[in-house]
Amino acid sequence: MASLHSDVSKKKVNYNSLEWLDEDVDFLSQEEIPDGFAALFKAQEESQSVVKEGQVVKGRIIEIKDENVVIDIGHKSAGEIPKSEFTAENTVFSLKVGDVVDVFVDVFEDDEGELVLSKDKADMLKAWDRISEAFEKDELVEGKIVGRVKGGLSVDIGVKAFLPGSQVDLRPVRNLEKLLGQVLQFKIIKFNKKRGNIVLSRRVLLEQDRERMRSETLKGLQVGSSMIGIVKNITDYGAFIDLGGIDGLLHITDMSWGRLNSPSEILNVGDEINVKVLSFDPGSNRVSLGLKQLQNDPWVSVAEKYASAQRLRGKVVSLTDYGAFVELEPGVEGLIHVTEMTWNRRIKHPSKIVNIGDEVDVVVLAVDLENHRISLGMKQTEPNPWEIVTQKYQVNDVIRGKIRNITDFGIFVGIEEGVDGLIHVSDISYTERIKHPQDLYKKGDEVEAKVLQIDVENMRFSLGIKQLGEDPYELAAKKFVPGTKGKGKITRIAEFGAFVEIAPGVEGLVHTSELENPNTAVDTEIDYVVLSVDFAERRFELSQKAATRGLDETHNKAIQAALNNETAPQNSFAEAFARAKATKDSN
């Protein structure tokens, strides 16, 4: 009130009319207050009667301090508001004395008798009014995503609002944190001012935009047309491309003429690409897209580039049990069958020879344009060891080599690199009965054998061990011609007769009908007469009775037939030998 006192002092006052009290009183009577001040007091009274606590009113900045701003709202005293309420994040305070601002009247007089104002609360009330109006008019609001909360995000639209995770985008968003700090537009789907509850949706807007874009996209969507799209999602089997309100599937097989292990090798989410519409189903809105179809098919020029016997270099891109696929150029692959990888036929799997990523030299074996197949060979890039074998070895040559493998049917012996010779179990011994070759040999043993056969076409090299010595059956056949008498021990007994050793390792059969005593025991020495010899079947037919009683007409006929090289009659002797041989082989 200092200014009021100063104004009064400039006018003449009738001191005689004043009534002095015992103490000084700083007060002017109604009559002594000038007209201007009366008007001011009246305005203050009127403003005080209009302004109420809990309202937003306009105030004028009358002073700016270091920390606070002093604001006059027409009340008997001014109020102070912290500067921080006037500055947004990372902004500078820019107001000046005389500026008019909206403030909230919190309390006319607090405990200290001071007017309490708030800029934040004024902004909040204004925001609620603005949001309420937007909700009623179905208008959009703009807000900044400020935090991650349970079930969604917190958005600042002037006041804090909730954005559920399901309303963030058209598809579920796994990483909501990546949206923090973004300023976006939203639609208010729930509003309750009393409870302070606001729920927003961004998905509704996206769906509206998508539907609008879908309508525009469908107008130009035709099979065979080329369109620009955005890679929206990538899976193991392909990528989904947003064509503008409608998604199309770009399958991995339609991405490149070459081989792809994953779509991510050439695509990333967010990439803008040009694609071709391969098919479109209006009923289900399913669209199939192609990327490689915008490029020339490399198989069109394969006939001009590749021919049989041509030597090439390629990269191994895939392995299977039956071979390896080699990329000759993007989109053109050839198959090296496992049998064409090496001259060594013992390779069971391609991984023993090559690995994915290897650069290999190959030879074109055949080109099938209709089925897009090229047959390749690796072994053809190296000399054929079988041609070398035919130059170095002849039938009946004796060789030495190490055993590389043993099976139940024979022994494989290394001849040259990539060439093994087989000693069949039947060619190990003339006389010894062998159940399994591993009973006599083991891998790594060095053996000597005779070359029996070289078959280059079928890549077979046959060897024999028993052929290194004389065939005891051949010697016996020369010595024991039909009619020859001899003496030998019974080696084994069968139900149809007895076997007698006529030479080391050579047996003959005495049929039961030709034994003097069918109950003769093993190791019994008996006399016999050779009735017939079948060298091919390694069979000697003997008779004890002919040796002890003399030859009768039947014996003489059998002997004569054998001497004349006629086929032995199908009598009991032949049948007995057949059964005996079968029994021997099975043992």
CATH code of 333's domain: 2.40.50.140
172 shares its domain with 231: no
227 shares its domain with 259: yes
Decide if 585 is inside a domain. no
The residue among 154, 172, 206 that closes a domain is 206
pLDDT at residue 414 above 70?
yes
Decide if 575 is inside a domain. no
For 349-403, the pLDDT digits (tens) are 899 899 999 999 999 999 998 888 999 999 989 888 888 888 888 999 999 999 9
Residue 289 is predicted with a pLDDT of 93
User: In degrees, to the nearest 5, what angle opens at C-alpha 219 toward C-alphas 215 and 222?
Assistant: 130
Decide if 227 is inside a domain. yes
Decide if 44 is inside a domain. no
Residue 483 is predicted with a pLDDT of 86
284 shares its domain with 317: no
Q: Show the domain range for 238.
A: 221-294
Residue 499 is predicted with a pLDDT of 93
Cβ neighbours for 65, distance < 8 A, ≥ 6 positions apart: 80
CA of 383: how far to CAs of 280, 377, 379, 389, 417, in Å?
Answer: 55, 13, 8, 11, 11
332 shares its domain with 372: yes
* Helix count and strand count (H, E) for the chain: 10, 30
- Nearest CA among 125, 119, 81 for reference residue 102: 119
For 114-161, the pLDDT digits (tens) are 788 887 777 777 778 788 888 888 888 888 999 898 889 998 888 888
What value does the mean pLDDT take over residues 460-487?
86
347 shares its domain with 390: no
Number of domains in the chain: 6
Average pLDDT of the residues of the chain: 81
280 bridge partner residues? 287
506 shares its domain with 488: yes
How far apart CA 305 and CA 298 sit, in angstroms, is: 10
Decide if 2 is inside a domain. no
How far apart CA 441 and CA 179 sit, in angstroms, is: 75
The residue among 278, 294, 310 that closes a domain is 294
For 534-570, the pLDDT digits (tens) are 877 888 999 988 888 888 887 887 787 777 764 444 4
Decide if 342 is inside a domain. yes
The residue among 294, 319, 353 that closes a domain is 294
Decide if 577 is inside a domain. no
How far apart CA 344 and CA 418 sit, in angstroms, is: 4
Decide if 15 is inside a domain. no
